[in-house]
Chain A
Amino acid sequence: MADLVKIAGWTGQTSAAVVFVHGLGGHAYGTWGHPSGDGWYWPRGLAERVPGLRTYVLGYDAPPTNWLGTAMPLQDRATNVAERLLGREELRGQPLIFVCHSLGGLIVKQVLVDLHEQRSRRPEAATLLAQVRGVVFVATPHSGSRSATWLERLRLLAWPSAIASQLVANDPTLRKLNVSYRGFADDRRTSLRHLVFYETQGTAAGAIVDETSSDPGLPGDPPIPIDADHVSIAKPRDGADLVAERVQRFVAALALPVVTPGDYTAAPLPDLARRPQFWTLVPKLVRAAVLLLAAAAVAVALNRARGVQPSGAAATPAAAPVVSFAAVDGAECLPMPAGVRIRVTVPGAEPQEAAVSGCEVRLAWALDWKAGQLAKIDVVGAASFERADAAKHYRLGDARWVVAMRPTATAPRLLVQLFDYASSDGGPEQPLAQFQTIVRNKIQMLAQSIALRNPLCAYVADLRVERTPRQLASSPNAAMAEWRSTGSLLFLSGLLFRRNADLMVRSQPFFGELSVGDVSRVQIDLRIDADEFSQTTDSHSLALLYALAMDARRRGQPNDVVYVFLGEAVSIAQGLDSTVPGVQLLKNAVRGALEGIGAPVPDLL
């Protein structure tokens, strides 16, 4: 059962209540510093610095592995915590703010999403929800943790707890929670604020939550990097520590003004230690015994295998490998354009060619390849990409050969990636599919049209629009790394949500290094409605034309080529309603691009 323990407060009026929620393997008290030592203890220090503030810590069982105890799944724990919060009378009637470390952030997100769903049938849920004014995420793995992934991969030995198993990187439960929470936060965008911190140092076990995962992808201030590891980030040294100082300002801004706060008091800390239950040792002993037996069986098998292998035998024919293409600093699967082939040269054999499909080629030639030999690979027909490791040879016998590629600096970027748009309430999917089809058709027609009219821009006819069946990384840095490595021109991602009775789509074009100024902040909000068809297609056309123009400039193309795209953009911009959120920023970007090539810009934009 979750425990909610008051740590400190004031004897007079209450300005706000802050609940500290620890993470996986954490402790209600110990996660935040040293409550009994001489050091600064965050929940106390924060209350002391904000008049009228009460602070609480939430304790619950969250062992990373079943060897150390048991833990409820995330959703059950959230329900458990919600009931604990709803049952505490003293939390009512004041702003409520959560400070969450790691997994604690996911639990609080699930609590708030659950309360949001219950608000129409449970008045107390609506009341509590209305009180929540802020959430601080400290190293929360919004899209999971690679450490948890490793824990899961080693599950035979590590025996991860139920809640730890859900922290696997890109776990569908976390993705769904992320989307639901974004929708909830969007509904509450005027009354709910967020503050996000992320670790930049590794623990002895390595980095626990990376920058990408710690970004919840919410509007507002960007996540703040902290010189700390996953554990120490939640233990500020004193009130001047960046995390403590920013949280104090955040809380003070959300707290009610108080006239008579009274005196600061620190509450005694009850003992939260659980009494050991010896019968829980039984499954652990059984599992340990099974593991020992299994290890013994493997050892025997290995010894036997060694016994039949003649020493000094000639290398055996190797199985044909799978050749896969990867980005230098990004995607492990980098799809190649249509028509790309590889030529593989093995000593003593004729070179062989094979067509690449997506990011892989499965070699299936009946060759007498000898393990240990080195093969040479040439990539043919990939004008927009080049080998990042041109001199590298590949060893026969390896099951997979990974060929690192990078976009050719002078090649035009001709791929528009349509990522999955998030949906704030899990659906409906059909309008989103219609929207994406319309945008794709429009972009393809526009590319055809430009290529037809302008021989110098005929290369645009090769522009492709591809669906990428996942969401774009919410971290700008991760998105930029992907943009660089994929050779894409433009990423389109966004969110489907409801505004009053209207179904809306928020489209966020990502221009990578092509963006100048405010265009990186463009978010186009459009109603999914036939009457908005023109605005929908034209606003995305404008984004595409801007990207094509800036890409032409990047590649040092003459101004007349850049003008082709910007001239087309000027025509399209005239039909666009500047009051649609995001449109004026796009028009300004086109204006800026025109000014950038010395064009006198008339008052058309």
Chain B
Amino acid sequence: MTKRPPSAGFVAAASLVALAILAPGLQAQDRLVGLLVAPFTGPNPLARKAATVIHLQTWQTLRMAAAVNGRTLNFGRGILQWTEEEPPTTHAGALALLAGSASQMTLWGRAQEFGAGVVVQAYLSVADADGAMAPGGALWRVTPEELPAADRSISVGLPTTLFEFGPIVLKPDVIPVLNTQVGIPMYRDRTFREQIGALTGDFVALEQGPNVARVRSSGATEPGWVRLPGLSNNRSEVTDFAGGLIRIFRQDWAGAIDLLTRVVAVPTAPAGIRISSYQLMAAASQRLHEQVGTPSRSVEFAEAAEKLNPFLRETVKVKCMALLAADRVPAVTKKLEDTVRAGASLFPQGDPWLAKVRTVLDRRRSLVAAGVP
């Protein structure tokens, strides 16, 4: 395996991968959503290969979901990039790698030996904190008519810019496979009979299949197929969550819900990741509702997040957003009042975001008092 020293340019190599398939859009937009994957720190070559496998597995999530998306939508392009820069060890370092690249997110991490095993800990750092790529400059925005026209917007962005995934405990049988100095074997075709080289250094993913990928690598003279081994005995949420976030940025709301639903079903996923997934699903569901008219499940998702942890300010915010976006019926208003009352102590004194929601509630109360339906 060759390892290039950090180059003057920021993202050295990279393999532009797969262009996720464009929906049959009528208007072409050049929105490019990228995930940069950095080699993991830790014992090499194991750490580097684990990152390679996760890279290719995440790339497979770029396949567009067969879902209820509008037929006239354009989801832009989704790409995965690989960098040969020095692996980051902090969130700031991960974000610094994005400078000059086409990506908005970095998937990074470390492999760590613990006892007789090896554990991979992955993180996702996002530069686009408030979801500004989405139309309107925020992940989710509501405009309650109870607010003055000049300041009618209430919005939320991403739950966080640093996501920490559950540890991936590598299967004992996969450790020796990843720990050899030889790169991941590449084969001429999907029969995996004839090895033509090894996946080393920079690579470009070209084609995908179930647990396999076709790549071009500097370690082989021609493109070849690699097997993507299951890293752990337990399902990991890393690839589905990263893929889900790419879909959120691509405004593929149905596709995002599809992948994030898989995340919340992973029993070993940290509660924090499951809560973030529900929050993103709540936003996606409402956006999908607005675009194609499917019933919104925002309140359901927001309440699922709240059930997991009612002591997070972001959870309260998302539930408020879902209720503000819902039909203005007395039951919803009552639920919004209860949510604000229960969660108020999580907000700083005089918090402007909460103040706006309270204004909406005050206005609704006064309208009800005035007999306005």
Q: Which A residues have a C-beta under 8 Å from some C-beta of B?
A: 431, 434-435, 437-438, 441, 445, 448-449, 452-454, 456, 503, 527-534, 536-537, 558-560, 563-564, 566-568, 570-572, 574-575, 594, 597-599, 602, 604
Selected interface stretch from B132-140, B222-230, B340-348: B340-348
A453-B314, A571-B272 given. 8 additional CB < 8 A pairs? A431-B115, A441-B121, A449-B91, A453-B162, A530-B119, A533-B167, A570-B309, A571-B270
Q: Give the most central of A437, A503, A530, A566: most B CB within 10 Å.
A: A530
Min Cβ gap B90→A in Å is 7
Question: Which residues from B are CB-within-8-Å of A533?
Answer: 112, 114, 119, 167, 169
Contacting B91 at CB < 8 Å: which of A452, A529, A559, A604? A452
CA distance A529 to B167 in the complex (A): 13
Please tell me if B21 contacts chain A, counting CB pairs below 8 Å: no
A560 pairs with B347, CB closer than 8 A: yes
Please tell me if B206 contacts chain A, counting CB pairs below 8 Å: no
Contacting A537 at CB < 8 Å: which of B113, B167, B313? B167
Top-4 shortest CB links A-B = A530-B117, A567-B311, A529-B115, A571-B271
B309 pairs with A434, CB closer than 8 A: no
CA distance A64 to B347 in the complex (A): 66
Question: Which residues from A are CB-within-8-Å of B162?
Answer: 445, 448-449, 452-453
Contacting B310 at CB < 8 Å: which of A441, A529, A572, A602? A602
Closest to A530 in B: B117
Contacting B166 at CB < 8 Å: which of A431, A534, A560? A534
Min Cβ gap A562→B in Å is 10
CA distance A440 to B318 in the complex (A): 32
Please tell me if B312 contacts chain A, counting CB pairs below 8 Å: yes
B310 pairs with A449, CB closer than 8 A: no
Question: Which residues from B are CB-within-8-Å of A454?
Answer: 313
CA distance A453 to B164 in the complex (A): 13
Q: Which of B220-264 contact A (CB under 8 A)?
A: none
Q: Which of B39-82 contact A (CB under 8 A)?
A: none
Contacting B275 at CB < 8 Å: which of A435, A449, A571? A571
Please tell me if B208 contacts chain A, counting CB pairs below 8 Å: no
CA distance A452 to B268 in the complex (A): 24
Please tell me if B142 contacts chain A, counting CB pairs below 8 Å: no
Question: Which residues from A are CB-within-8-Å of B346?
Answer: 560, 563, 567
Closest to B347 in A: A560
**Residue-wise interface mask of B (262-298) relative to A, using a CB-CB cutoff of 8 A (1 in contact, 0 not):** 0000001011100100000000000000000000000
Q: Give the most central of A503, A574, A602: most B CB within 10 Å.
A: A574
Question: Which residues from A are CB-within-8-Å of B167?
Answer: 533-534, 537
CA distance A530 to B112 in the complex (A): 9
CA distance A594 to B345 in the complex (A): 12
Question: Which residues from B are CB-within-8-Å of A529?
Answer: 114-117
B271 pairs with A438, CB closer than 8 A: no
Q: Which of B152-201 contact A (CB under 8 A)?
A: 159-162, 164, 166-167, 169-170
Q: Give the most central of B112, B167, B311: most A CB within 10 Å.
A: B311
Q: Which of B75-121 contact A (CB under 8 A)?
A: 90-91, 110, 112-119, 121
Min Cβ gap A499→B in Å is 14
A575 pairs with B117, CB closer than 8 A: no
Contacting B313 at CB < 8 Å: which of A528, A536, A567? A567
